[in-house]
Every structure is written in structure tokens, then in C-alpha cells.
Structure 1
Amino acid sequence: MATEIIEGSTNAGKVKVGIVVSRWNSMITDKMLEGALQALKGNGISEDDITVVKCPGSYEIPLTVQKILENREVDGVIAIGVVIRGGTPHFEYVCDAVNRGITDLILKHNKPVAFGVLTTDDVKQALERAGDKGNKGGEAALALLEMISIDQKLTS
């Protein structure tokens, strides 16, 4: 008997995707949103099958993702935000809350949520990750499509 290997692909077929994007640091998150939309459309996802919800900041991302998962027919959600380190512990509190919140939602709703929340030391690093040296929004979109594909293969 051969070992079964299941792997996802970005060709998940017709799927519906939610995107939650933080308005805080919008000069960065807007670029990440563009990257995510480009990646989704480049993989056959129609604009009609994408819902974008903007929330105030990264701390508000988990609740917004939860609202999408509970009130919209989606196969998965992309979370886009950025938290830039400052001189206080605020950075750690926000990063921890967003990470835990999203992890809890993935397990509670049994649907993939791609983590496109940057945690950087400065604005320069964030801008690099939003387009100058790749686009983490686009990467999160591709990861989401792969996870949807894996879910489809494991539940069919």
C-alpha cells in the first residue's frame, strides 16, 4: 500500500472569499489588499465571489472575521493588517490578541483564515512586505486557496 499524500492547489474552483482589511496603516494594507485581489482574480475567483470588509485596526480583525464567517457564505477569509513595533508593550498585546483570535476562529468555524497580518519593527519593513519585496497580501490569498483546496479534498 502506498502512502497517501494530499496537497492543496490554488485551483480551488468556484469559491467565495471574504477579506478583512485594517484601515490603520492603510498606505500598507491597501497595497496588501491589491495583492490579495490580484492573486484571487489571477486564480479564477470572480469579483462577485469576493467580499471585502474594512475595520479600524488590526485588533478589530478577529471580530470582523467572525462576523463574516457567521453571516456570509464564504469558504474562507483573508485577514490583512499591520502592527508596527513601538516603544511600549502595545505591540505584543495586539499581536497576541489577533493571533489567538484568528486561531480560535479557524478551529471554531472549521474554515481556513489566512493570516496576512504583518508584525514588523518599522514602516520600512512593512512597506517591503507589502510590495517592494513581494506582497504578503497576495501570498495570504494563495495560502487561503490552497487551504480551501485541502479542505475540499479531505471532506469529499
Structure 2
Amino acid sequence: MRTEGLTTAIEGVHDGEGRRIAIIFTRWNDEIISEMRTACLDTLKTQGVTKENIEEIIIPGAFEFPLTCTLAAESEKFDAVIALGCVIRGETPHFDYVAGEAARGITSASLSGNTPVIFGVLTVNTEEQAWQRAARDKDNKGAEFALAALEMAAVTEKLKRV
């Protein structure tokens, strides 16, 4: 917790020691997801999360996130849940339905309990845009989602004690 002036700021840290994290990822766009998953796992381990405290849950696609994230968040087994997926716009309105419902459902899952659920779903227009966000030699979003999960786990823990 930081104190600046007359206020106290609650701030999260990226310390993963003792943290239990669920990573829910899709089979759809599996090559892109695999890159984000690897970066996510590497980052969690670098920050002190042990292999035994990471549970991976594989689902078919992004439309299945709402139920799976809700069940994981409400289980109280995890300090944070990370939803990893990628929805690429196509020629039909399918993208709008899947991306929109995934976002709505993941938000709902996060609000359903006291466990933060990280929206780690790329919603892009092209496969090229997805790779720009998932390539190991660039700014891989999987690592960012891992850090966000640890930070939110710490913030949530602190807020529960206030």
C-alpha cells in the first residue's frame, strides 16, 4: 500500500508466491493461443507461481468462456483466472456475437464472486493483427495478462481486508 499526500493508495504487486492461478484457453486459433499460453506460463513462473499452483483448463472456443470462467471464479480455488483466446473477424457477423458474448460473460464471471477474471481474449480484424500481439519476439499479450492476474489478485486480497 502506498501513501501519497493525504490519501492511501491500494496497489497490486506482481509477486506470485503462493498464488493459485487458473488459465482457461481455447482450442480455436490454437497456434496463436499456444504462443500466448507459453508467455503467460513463463511470466507466472518468473514471478514465483509454482507449476503445482497453475491449473490449465482447455475449452473449444471463446463462446464457452462465460460458463467456464464463472465456475472457476466461484470455486474459490484460485486467486485469479485468466481467459486466453483469440477471435478474428471474418466475413459474417459471427465475430460480433462470439466476441461480444465472451466479453460480457467474462465480465459477469469476474463480478460473480471475489476472484478477478482477466480478459485475455484478442479481438482482432486479421490474423496478422493477432500475431502482432502473440509473437514471442514482440509484445506478447500473454505475459501482460499474467501480470494483470497477479496484480489483481493482490489488489483483491488487500480490498477484502479493508
Establish whether TM, by shorter chain, passes 0.5: yes
Q: Distance in 2 between matches of 1:154 and 1:61?
A: 26
Q: Distance in 2 between matches of 1:71 and 1:151?
A: 16
Q: Once the two structures are superposed, what CA deviation does each residue of 1:18-45 show, in whole Å capped at 9, x if it has no partner?
A: 0000010001001111011011001000
Structural mapping, 1:1-156, within 5 Å: 2-71=6-75, 73-131=77-135, 132-156=137-161
Could you tell me the TM-score, scaled by structure 2's length? 0.91
Q: Distance in 1 between matches of 2:101 and 2:14?
A: 29
| Structure 1 SS opposite 2:104 | helix
Could you tell me the TM-score, scaled by structure 1's length? 0.94
Amino acid at match of 2:160: T
Aligned alpha-carbon RMSD (Å): 1.4
| Structure 2 SS opposite 1:94 | helix
Deviates further, 65-74 or 53-62: 65-74
Unaligned stretches of 5+ residues in structure 2: none
Distance of aligned partners of 1:134 and 1:95 in 2 relative to their CA distance in 1, 3 Å threshold = same
